[in-house]
Amino acid sequence: MQLVHTIADLRAALQGRGRPSLVPTMGNLHEGHLALVRQAKPLGDVLVTSIFVNRLQFLPHEDFDSYPRTLQADCSHLQAHGCDIVFAPSERDLYPEPQTFTVTPDPQLANMLEGHFRPGFFTGVCTVVMKLFWSVFAGSSGTAVFGRKDYQQQMVIRQMVRQFALPIDIVAADIHRAPDGLALSSRNSYLSASERAQATQLHDALQRLSQAALEPGVDLTRLEAEAMQALRAKGWHPDYLTVRQRSDLQPPAGTARANQSVALGAARLGKTRLIDNLEF
Ligand code: PAF
């Protein structure tokens, strides 16, 4: 396995290696990321994992500085999982000058939910993902694997790839959960022991919401408000708990449709903001 830090070294390492598959990450890899790596491995001739904590997608008050950076441990895991190249640029490598050109996603899709509570987040994500795609694929074809936990993110990236006609297949991998149902996330490491024990309540709330949303004649807006209130009563600070159509993340007209819907949630428990979703 090769560890490279610059785009030039990455391109040199990829020379003559065939069709790449890419798993973009911000590092601090857990079993969920490693599942993406396992899924990506047979999808190309050479597997690249990128590790870069992207300042552009953090708001000033968010956890950019404290985001866990564990490159050595990440590399050991990646080596054990058959990764061929780790691309771990420094900020100066990836953004040698201020990144004043950015990729602005469709506001219809990107300004709601995560984009509403984290303004600019998807511009930061699309800008770095476009740059990673150009670094790895350089205009030729390949595959990139993203986790479904960031549900809206993979939809925004799919739309970006489609509209820019990038020759890249986007594969969405299932959410990896702990045995008690908590979706794996690097931010879970911020939880105290008691918060960790409580953290499955977000997933439980989404399960209840998705079941109730299928009852004939339900008022979805009321259900969502009740679900948020129930979480608040347990000490959470929810940003949203909502039922949307999978096709465009808009609220369904009337009741939710089975197999076409997704319940999405984001909520803070103490200092930790968790997100999760459930297709139903
Ligand atoms: O999902 C993530 O970890 C990040 O948003 C990504 C796609 C690596 C871009 O920085």
Sketch out the chain's domains with CATH numbers. 2-173 (3.40.50.620), 186-279 (3.30.1300.10)
Q: Are strands 237-245 and 261-269 parallel, antiparallel or unpaired?
A: antiparallel
Question: What single-letter amino acid sits at 64?
Answer: F
- Ligand 1 mean position, distance from CA 25 (Å): 5
User: Annotated active-site positions, please?
Assistant: 33
Ligand 1 pocket residue status of 182, Cβ below 6 Å: no
- Ligand 1 mean position, distance from CA 24 (Å): 6
Torsion of CA 175, 179, 180, 181, to 10 degrees: 10
- Ligand 1 mean position, distance from CA 223 (Å): 31
Which residue's CA is the closest to the ligand 1 atom numbered 9? Answer: 125
Tokens read off for 225: 């408000």
Largest Cα–Cα distance of the chain, in whole Å?
Answer: 59
pLDDT at 8: 97
- In sequence order, the β-bridge partners of residue 267 are 238, 274
Q: What is the pLDDT of residues 42-93, one digit of tens each?
A: 999 999 999 999 999 999 999 999 999 999 999 999 999 999 999 999 999 9
Q: Indicate which atom in ligand 1 lies nearest the CA of residue 25.
A: 8
Mean pLDDT for 169-177 is: 98
Checking if the pLDDT of 139 tops 90, the result is no
254 falls in which pLDDT band (50, 70, 90)? confident
15 falls in which pLDDT band (50, 70, 90)? very high
Tokens read off for 89: 């640029």
pLDDT at 67: 98
First to last CA, the chain: 39
Tokens read off for 148: 């479904």
Dist CA 145 CA 36 (whole Å): 6
Mean pLDDT for 181-193 is: 98
Which residue's CA is the closest to the ligand 1 atom numbered 8? Answer: 25
Dist CA 237 CA 219 (whole Å): 23
Determine the length of the chain: 280
- Ligand 1 mean position, distance from CA 116 (Å): 18
Mean pLDDT for 138-151 is: 96
| Mean per-residue pLDDT of the chain | 98
Ligand 1 pocket residue status of 25, Cβ below 6 Å: yes
**Quick one: three-class SS letters along 35-73?**
HHHHHHHHHCCEEEEEECCCHHHCCCCCCCCCCCCCHHH
